[in-house]
Amino acid sequence: MEIKVTRRRFLEGASVLALSLTYLNCGGQKEATKAVSALGAKVKKPFQPYGNWQDLYREKWQWDKVVRGAHHVLNCVSACPFNVYVKDGIVWREEQNAVMHARNEKYPDFNPRGCQKGVCYSQLMYSPSRLQYPLKRVGQRGGGQWKRITWDEALDEISEKVIQVSEESGPECVIYDSGTANQGYGSESAELVAFDLLGSTELDGWGCAGDMPLGAIMTWGLFNMDSSSDDYFNSELILLWIGNPSYTRIPDAHFLWEARYNGSKVVSIAPDYNASTMHCDQWVNVNIGSDAALALGMAHTIIHENLYRKAYVQEQTDMPLLVREDTGKFLREADLKKDGKSDIFYLWDLKKNKMVQAPGGEGMGVSATLKMDGLDPVLDTDGWNVKLANGESVRVRTVWARLRDRLEDYTPEKAASIVGVSADVIRNLGREMGKAKATSIFGSWGTMKHHHSDLFQRGMILLLALTGSTGIRGGGLHIGAWYLMSGLEKVLGEVQPTWWQEAILKFVQPPVREMIKHFRKYEDNYMYMWMPALLFLYEYGGLKKAVDNPAYHDENPGISMPEAVKEAITHGSMKLYPKPSTGKQPRMYIHTRVNPLRRWPKPQEALETLWPKFELIVGVNIRMSATCMYSDIVLPVCGNYERRGIKYAQSYVPYYIFGDKVVDPLHETKSEWEISGLLMKTVQEKAKAKSLKPIKDAIGKERDFTKVFDRWSKQGKFKIEDDWNYYEIVTRESPEIGNIGWDEAVAKGANPIQSYGPFRTHSNICTDYEANESVYSGQWFTEKKMCWPTLTGRQQFYIDHDWFLKAKEELPTHKSMPKVGGEYPLRLTGGHTRWSIHSTWRDEPHLLQLQRGEPAAWISREDAEARGVQEGDKIVVFNDEGKTELYGKISNAVQPGQVIIYHAWENYHFKNWESNQQPVPSVWKALHMADYSQLHYRFVYAGPHHAPRGTTVDFRKA
């Protein structure tokens, strides 16, 4: 029977049926009732809520204990304290330990810090990619066949190889790589000590990650600078310049949007409309790679409309310094006097109406300051003639005058044609910045990954200097700086500060420039085995061909790459081990918690060229990384909640973050502390057994392997089994947290900074610490008149190095991006993804489910249509160097001509493991090989630098 009735009729029908049934049944009803009652059945009423059904979820929300946790074993720039909830011996989940106060009632507080990754480390630690046992490769490298081995077997094989290679070829043929993942303040640092003792080559991965603020180094002599996040509340204008803090600074981004509510104007300068742009007052949609031109166009307006802070420029910058018109070099004392110094400079004082030595020059010594003492240096001038010591007469002009000439190439109109926005947009932005009481530029590590990033950054710093924004509350460049812990100095390295050094550090505040000299000397003497990872790849990893390719450089590079490398190595300003002159080759590679094959430019080259040189490759990791997949022995490390740790402290948040051991190490994992101790012990035992004589290292210093463990353990002071003593010393010896000791520190999890401690210079913040105020950077220079750590002692916009002069980069300028990758119409950009911290979390299944489960590139609708690519298609991104296949996410937010690939996919996420780094040779700039006062190679300071952005590519439908 098919019922074809309207609803009403159907209902009527139903009632009829119901009635008739009731009628039919009425005879039996009473009896039935009786029967039921007789049986004593309790009939429940419909809709009556059952007793305790809500207990279901109440019971779910229970745990056995709560322990302080932190994510200290990874290179995340947000230090977040967590409470870790443990149930049945398993880490159940985590929640932010939100105990951080506001500095004062003007500012919001810092709670709660932690992102979607941090709140699911509990999932990652038990995830399928977690390494559980020591593994040894069976079959080919990268073949994915393993056999489980014991720790003893692994340690024996590794130690024997270390000894064999060191004895036969020298310890520098053992290559140790801790990349940028090992920068915590915890016991993982013991590993650095171990390889220092062995004399291994240590790859400095900082530049290889593309995080070198070379423009800041050239201009300020400082590696990084930053403020606390609440200081945005003091900024009238905030420029988010090549940055997407909604992705990359999740725990801090709220300060920006809250500052906007508080009255700050926030402007996004980016080619694409992104998660941060959406919350801004204005979007300046620049062409990719045009950022320096925008800065210079704004600078032109600021100067022309007389919006610059003259006194600041006179005092804090090199603008009044005199430059010889004949050579383009600064006028130096050595020019004017026989036996004069080459690092004393001059300006013209309008008051006395004569040329005087400019305060700040490096040659003025320890007591030099920037105090003007009534000077009124000339800025604008057509120049005049100066008589040199040799009798010659040369014309000199100020840096300012030269800058003004340079800026004539960047009138807003001229800049507009490069930047892709109107002259009005540039002019107005310049005006707003010129008028703002304080301007902050969020221009962090994302601004450093272009070939000409140094020029972008010099432009930004110029704007900040013209407007007097650096070194004032609410102003400055926000890159990312660190608070230090003095206690680390007690346990790291072999050389400790002498009593008099400690005394000086404690009672005197040495000038920044002097302290940096001290550090530099220390590093030269004791950390000489560190070398830039990119240079290593250049020489041994097959990168040379692409990097030397002149087509991949500016048409006027100042110097060619092969010449620059030769110069740097010959003069020793840049180290390269094994020294090519010895004919030695790298033979063994140990990578710890880093993922070089994921990160390195063109990893296919390294696999082809470098890998065959290695007789043994050892991976030490929490999880199965791409590089571990290509290794011979893989050692499993215990993760964040399985051991104690200290997160490196970031400038944004004035707290030190400590994590306790929440559960025992999973499976057969061990901490880096234990692994490096066991390794040292095994090496020492084996060296003793064969009566190994001291081995000469790369510079001829003797390394005694029969004593390495004794030295690692500080003659037994540190035990392999327990790192408590390490943490106790670090925390007890750190006035920064009030010398409270480990147990108290970790009980709180987040500990407010008490003071900067003696090593405050190293933080790069360079401002006295006030517990109840926001932190801003550079106060020592602007208020205390300390010299900037540069040749001139000033913010130095003029670099009179020959190569720079030749390249016409002696002053900030704009240069168009070289076509690294070949003649292709599109430019590859990228950035940190919101979904992972480098490759950690990249394979976490919950997070992958919130993406597409596989790598993706964001492409513009216009470019997709031109290539017949539709939503859901996969595309191949390619150039002359390589190719990679991924989803093409068609987005309206992408600038036509732009391809965005957010980073850190593992090679094994891609078909044939051809990762998004395959088409990226990442050619750095030859100028960065220069050796010029503040610009030189130092451990995690400057040097050859990863520059993946702006690579030329095209794509097609896969």
| Contacts of other proteins in 831-850 (CB under 8 A) | 834, 843, 845-850
Which of these segments, 60-68, 393-401, 550-558, 790-798, binds other proteins (CB under 8 A)?
60-68
Instruction: Tell me whether residue 424 or residue 702 sits nearer to other proteins (CB atom).
Output: 424
Instruction: Tell me whether residue 140 or residue 367 sits nearer to other proteins (CB atom).
Output: 140
Amino acid identity at 805: L
Which of these segments, 194-202, 502-510, 511-519, 910-918, binds other proteins (CB under 8 A)?
910-918
Distance CA 632, CA 462 (A): 50
Distance CA 638, CA 277 (A): 39
Beta bridge partners of 935: 932
Residue with tokens 């670090």: 730
Q: Is 97 helix (H, G, I), strand (E, B) or coil?
A: coil
Distance CA 670, CA 685 (A): 20
| Site map 912..931 versus other proteins, x via CB under 8 A | xx------------------
Instruction: Tell me whether residue 349 or residue 773 sits nearer to other proteins (CB atom).
Output: 773
Q: Minimum distance between the CB of residue 454 and other proteins, rounded to whole angstroms?
A: 25
Position 58 contacts other proteins (CB under 8 A): yes
Q: Minimum distance between the CB of residue 853 and other proteins, rounded to whole angstroms?
A: 4
Distance CA 599, CA 915 (A): 10
Residue with tokens 């307006």: 301
Q: Minimum distance between the CB of residue 878 and other proteins, rounded to whole angstroms?
A: 18
Instruction: Tell me whether residue 241 or residue 538 sits nearer to other proteins (CB atom).
Output: 241
Site for other proteins in 122-141 (CB under 8 A): 122-123, 128-129, 139-140
| Site map 215..254 versus other proteins, x via CB under 8 A | -------------------------------xx--xx-xx
CB 481 within 8 A of CB 224: yes
Taking CB under 8 A as the criterion, the residue among 283, 410, 658, 781 binding other proteins is 283
| Site map 588..627 versus other proteins, x via CB under 8 A | ------------------------------------x---
Which of these segments, 268-276, 327-335, 508-516, 705-713, binds other proteins (CB under 8 A)?
268-276
Site for other proteins in 624-683 (CB under 8 A): 624, 629
Taking CB under 8 A as the criterion, the residue among 324, 449, 587, 889 binding other proteins is 889
Distance CA 158, CA 382 (A): 67
Instruction: Tell me whether residue 581 or residue 892 sits nearer to other proteins (CB atom).
Output: 892
Query: Which of the 8 DSSP states describes residue 843?
Result: T
Instruction: Tell me whether residue 45 or residue 571 sits nearer to other proteins (CB atom).
Output: 45
Which of these segments, 277-285, 309-317, 545-553, 574-582, binds other proteins (CB under 8 A)?
277-285
Instruction: Tell me whether residue 794 or residue 814 sits nearer to other proteins (CB atom).
Output: 814
C-beta contacts of 88-93 below 8 A and 24+ residues apart: 88/64, 89/64, 89/663, 90/126, 90/663, 91/122, 91/125, 91/126, 91/641, 91/662, 91/663, 92/63, 92/122, 93/119, 93/122
Position 144 contacts other proteins (CB under 8 A): yes
| Whole-Å CA distances, 687 to 260, 590, 683, 695, 699 | 63, 19, 6, 11, 21
Residue with tokens 């995690």: 940
Distance CA 725, CA 562 (A): 49
Site size with other proteins, rule: CB under 8 A: 146
CB 227 within 8 A of CB 440: yes
Instruction: Tell me whether residue 577 or residue 630 sits nearer to other proteins (CB atom).
Output: 630
Instruction: Tell me whether residue 94 or residue 315 sits nearer to other proteins (CB atom).
Output: 94
Q: Which of 628, 601, 599, 625 is nearest to 541 (CA)?
A: 601
Taking CB under 8 A as the criterion, the residue among 61, 499, 500, 507 binding other proteins is 61
Q: Which of 924, 250, 943, 149 is nearest to 574 (CA)?
A: 943
Q: Minimum distance between the CB of residue 285 and other proteins, rounded to whole angstroms?
A: 5
Site for other proteins in 414-433 (CB under 8 A): 416, 420-422, 424-425
Instruction: Tell me whether residue 119 or residue 394 sits nearer to other proteins (CB atom).
Output: 119
| Site map 86..105 versus other proteins, x via CB under 8 A | ------xxxxxxxx--x--x
CB burial of residue 360 (10 Å; 0-12, 13-18, 19+): buried
CB 954 within 8 A of CB 878: yes
Residue 921: cis peptide before it, omega within 30 degrees of 0: no
| Site map 155..194 versus other proteins, x via CB under 8 A | ----------------------------------------
Position 762 contacts other proteins (CB under 8 A): no
Q: Minimum distance between the CB of residue 233 and other proteins, rounded to whole angstroms?
A: 9
Position 704 contacts other proteins (CB under 8 A): no
| Site map 364..383 versus other proteins, x via CB under 8 A | --------------------
Instruction: Tell me whether residue 699 or residue 850 sits nearer to other proteins (CB atom).
Output: 850
The first and second tokens of residue 153, run together, are 């077997």
Q: Minimum distance between the CB of residue 18 and other proteins, rounded to whole angstroms?
A: 4
Residue with tokens 């240096």: 377
CB 206 within 8 A of CB 180: yes
Q: Minimum distance between the CB of residue 641 and other proteins, rounded to whole angstroms?
A: 13
Distance CA 199, CA 75 (A): 25
Position 906 contacts other proteins (CB under 8 A): yes
Which of these segments, 274-282, 613-621, 648-656, 717-725, binds other proteins (CB under 8 A)?
274-282
Task: Provide the phi-psi class of 493: left if phi over 0, else alpha when psi is between -120 and 50, else beta.
Answer: left
Q: Is 336 helix (H, G, I), strand (E, B) or coil?
A: helix
Task: Provide the phi-psi class of 822: left if phi over 0, else alpha when psi is between -120 and 50, else beta.
Answer: left
The first and second tokens of residue 36, run together, are 């039921």
| Whole-Å CA distances, 862 to 277, 598, 768, 797 | 21, 30, 51, 40
| Site map 847..886 versus other proteins, x via CB under 8 A | xxxxxxxx---x-xxx---------x--------------
Position 60 contacts other proteins (CB under 8 A): yes
Q: Minimum distance between the CB of residue 281 and other proteins, rounded to whole angstroms?
A: 6
Instruction: Tell me whether residue 777 or residue 891 sits nearer to other proteins (CB atom).
Output: 891
Sequence-distant (≥ 6) Cβ neighbours of residue 88 within 8 angstroms: 64
Distance CA 543, CA 208 (A): 12
Site for other proteins in 4-43 (CB under 8 A): 7, 10-11, 13-15, 17-18, 21-22, 24-25, 27-29, 31-36, 39-43
Taking CB under 8 A as the criterion, the residue among 418, 441, 807, 894 binding other proteins is 894
Distance CA 781, CA 143 (A): 56
Query: Which of the 8 DSSP states describes residue 864?
Result: H
| Site map 538..577 versus other proteins, x via CB under 8 A | ----------------------------------------
Taking CB under 8 A as the criterion, the residue among 227, 829, 891, 917 binding other proteins is 891
Q: Which of 405, 382, 403, 374 is nearest to 311 (CA)?
A: 374
HSE-CB of 852 using CA atoms within 13 angstroms: 15
Q: Minimum distance between the CB of residue 544 and other proteins, rounded to whole angstroms?
A: 25
Taking CB under 8 A as the criterion, the residue among 322, 890, 899, 904 binding other proteins is 890
Q: Minimum distance between the CB of residue 250 and other proteins, rounded to whole angstroms?
A: 5
